[in-house]
C-alpha cells in the first residue's frame, strides 16, 4: 500500500512539473540568447537562380556568396528559416521556385537575373504578403524591390584596360543574350576602348545563351584566330568557354599575347595566366545591402536601387601582374574613375547613346 501511495505521489509531481513546463514555454516568447559574439535574427532570406546555376563562376555565384555572407554575419543557418537557394534548370522553373520559397515563409525572396522579370511579377501579384527582389530588372509592384547596376561604368574601365594592353589593336566582346543589361556592358566596353585608343577594332558577337560554355569557346577561338588578343565576355557560364580557349592557347605558346577579361566577379581563378582583369558587378554587395534594409524594417518595396561606381556597386578587379602595361592601365583607370564619379564623363548605357559618346 505504501509503495502504491508513493508511486501515485511521484506521478502527481511529474504531471505538475510537465504542466508548469508547458505553461512556461507558451508564455516565453524570447529565443535562447545568442552566444558571445554571435548575432541572431528571426529574418530569413532565399534566392532563385536563373539557368546559369549557383556555381556559374559569375552572376548567380556572386549573388549566392553575398547571401551566404549576410546569413553568417547575422547568425542564420542554411535552410528553411535561415538562408537558402533553389536552382532553376530551365525558365519553366522560375515561377515554381519563387512560389515555393514564398510558401516556405522566407521574409525576402530574390529572383536573380533579367530573365526572371515576368516570373517575379507573376508570383508577387499572387503572394502579396511576401517580399521579393529582382536583380537586373524592374518590377513595379509594392512588394518588389528592383536592383539595377550601371554595368556600363565597369565595362568602360575594362575597355580602357583592353585597349591599352592590346598589341594587335584587335579585341573582342562576347555577349550572352541581347537584353538591356548586356547592351549596357557592350556599350560601356566599346566606349572605354574608344576613349583610350580609338583606332582599336572590336569584334562583337552574341552567343544567345548564358549557360553554353562550348559556344563561348567556339566564338573565342574564331576571334583569337582572326587576330584578337584581348576578349571580354558578358555571357555568364557561356564565358567559361572563353577562359578555356585562352588557357589552352597560352599553354601551347606561352610567348603569345592572349588575354581574357572576366565579368561580375573577379574571375582570375578561371585562368591566372590569361585573365587581364574583370568588370566587377557587385551583386554580392547589393544582396547584402538590400537584405539588411529588409531585416531592419526598411524594405524599399516598389522602388529601384541603382548601384554604380559611386556606390561601390561596380568596378574592376586588380590588373594581372603579368601584363606589361599594368602600370599604365592602373593610372588610366584611376583617372577615368575620378571623371566618371565627378560627372565629367557620362558612360553610355545603350548603343544609341554610344553613337553620340565623346570622352573629350
| Domain spans in the chain, listed from the N-terminal domain onward | 45-149+285-309, 151-281+324-355
What CA–CA distance (Å, rounded) separates 268 from 271?
6
Show Cβ contacts of residue 106 under 8 Å, excluding neighbours closer than 6 positions. Answer: 44, 45, 46, 80, 84, 130
Q: How many CB atoms lie within 10 A of CB 140?
A: 11
- Per-residue pLDDT at 243 exceeds 70: yes
Which is more confident, 317 or 1?
A: 317
Instruction: Check for a shared fold between 45-149+285-309 and 151-281+324-355.
Output: yes
What CA–CA distance (Å, rounded) separates 279 from 285?
15
- Phi, psi (deg, nearest 5) at residue 141: -130, 145
Residue 59, pLDDT score: 85
- Per-residue pLDDT at 10 exceeds 80: no
- The C-alpha torsion from 149 through 150 and 153 to 155, rounded to 10°, is 60
Q: Name the strands in the sheet holding 170-175, side by side, starting at the edge strand that comes first in the sequence.
A: 201-206, 170-175, 230-234, 259-264, 275-281, 314-316
What CA–CA distance (Å, rounded) separates 51 from 177?
13
**What integer best gives the mean pLDDT of the chain?**
90
- The pTM for the full model equals 0.82
Strand 45-48, strand 108-112: pairing? parallel
> Class assignment of domain 151-281+324-355?
alpha beta
What average pLDDT does range 169-180 have in this prediction?
A: 97
Euclidean distance between the first and final Cα of the chain, in Å?
A: 105
Residue 9, pLDDT score: 40
Fold (CATH) for 45-149+285-309: Rossmann fold (3.40.50)
Cross-strand pairs, 188:
none
What average pLDDT does range 10-15 have in this prediction?
A: 38
Name the band, by pLDDT with cuts 50, 70 and 90, for residue 221.
Answer: very high
Query: CA of 151: how far to CAs of 104, 136, 178, 184, in Å?
Result: 33, 10, 14, 6
pLDDT digits (tens, 9 = 90+) for 34-62: 443 445 578 999 999 998 889 888 889 99
Name the band, by pLDDT with cuts 50, 70 and 90, for residue 86.
Answer: very high
- Per-residue pLDDT at 16 exceeds 90: no
The overall longest dimension of the chain from CA atoms, in Å, is: 108
Amino acid at each position: 500500500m505504501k509503495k502504491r501511495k508513493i508511486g501515485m505521489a511521484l506521478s502527481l509531481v511529474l504531471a505538475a512539473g510537465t504542466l508548469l513546463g508547458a505553461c512556461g514555454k507558451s508564455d516565453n516568447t524570447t529565443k535562447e540568447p545568442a552566444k558571445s559574439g554571435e548575432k541572431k535574427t528571426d529574418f530569413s532570406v532565399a534566392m532563385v537562380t536563373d539557368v546559369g546555376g549557383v556555381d556559374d563562376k559569375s552572376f548567380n555565384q556572386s549573388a549566392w556568396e553575398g547571401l551566404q555572407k549576410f546569413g553568417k554575419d547575422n547568425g542564420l543557418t542554411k535552410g528553411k528559416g535561415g538562408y537558402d537557394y533553389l536552382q532553376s534548370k530551365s525558365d519553366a522553373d522560375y515561377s515554381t521556385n519563387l512560389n515555393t520559397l514564398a510558401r516556405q515563409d522566407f521574409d525576402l525572396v530574390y529572383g536573380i537575373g533579367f530573365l526572371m522579370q515576368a516570373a517575379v511579377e507573376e508570383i508577387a501579384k499572387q503572394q502579396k504578403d511576401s517580399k521579393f527582389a529582382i536583380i537586373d530588372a524592374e518590377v513595379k509592384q509594392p512588394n518588389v524591390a528592383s536592383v539595377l547596376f550601371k554595368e556600363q561604368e565597369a565595362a568602360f574601365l575594362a575597355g580602357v584596360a583592353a585597349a591599352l594592353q592590346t598589341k594587335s589593336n584587335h579585341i573582342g566582346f562576347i555577349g550572352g543574350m541581347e537584353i538591356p543589361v548586356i547592351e549596357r556592358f557592350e556599350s560601356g566596353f566599346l566606349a572605354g576602348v574608344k576613349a583610350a585608343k580609338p583606332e582599336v577594332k572590336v569584334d562583337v558577337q552574341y552567343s544567345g545563351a548564358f549557360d553554353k560554355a562550348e559556344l563561348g569557346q567556339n566564338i573565342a577561338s574564331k576571334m583569337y584566330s582572326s587576330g584578337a588578343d584581348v576578349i571580354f565576355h558578358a555571357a555568364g557560364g557561356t564565358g567559361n568557354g572563353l577562359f578555356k580557349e585562352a588557357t589552352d592557347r597560352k599553354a601551347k605558346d606561352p610567348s603569345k599575347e592572349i588575354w581574357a577579361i572576366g565579368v561580375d566577379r573577379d574571375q582570375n581563378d578561371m585562368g591566372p595566366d590569361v585573365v587581364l582583369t574583370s568588370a566587377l558587378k557587385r551583386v554580392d554587395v547589393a544582396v547584402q545591402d538590400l537584405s539588411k534594409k529588409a531585416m531592419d524594417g526598411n524594405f524599399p518595396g516598389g522602388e529601384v536601387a541603382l548601384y554604380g561606381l559611386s556606390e561601390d556597386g561596380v568596378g574592376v578587379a586588380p590588373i594581372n601582374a603579368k601584363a606589361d602595361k599594368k602600370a599604365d592601365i592602373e593610372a588610366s583607370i584611376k583617372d577615368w574613375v575620378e571623371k566618371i564619379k565627378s560627372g565629367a564623363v557620362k558612360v553610355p548605357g545603350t548603343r544609341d547613346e554610344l553613337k553620340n559618346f565623346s570622352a573629350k
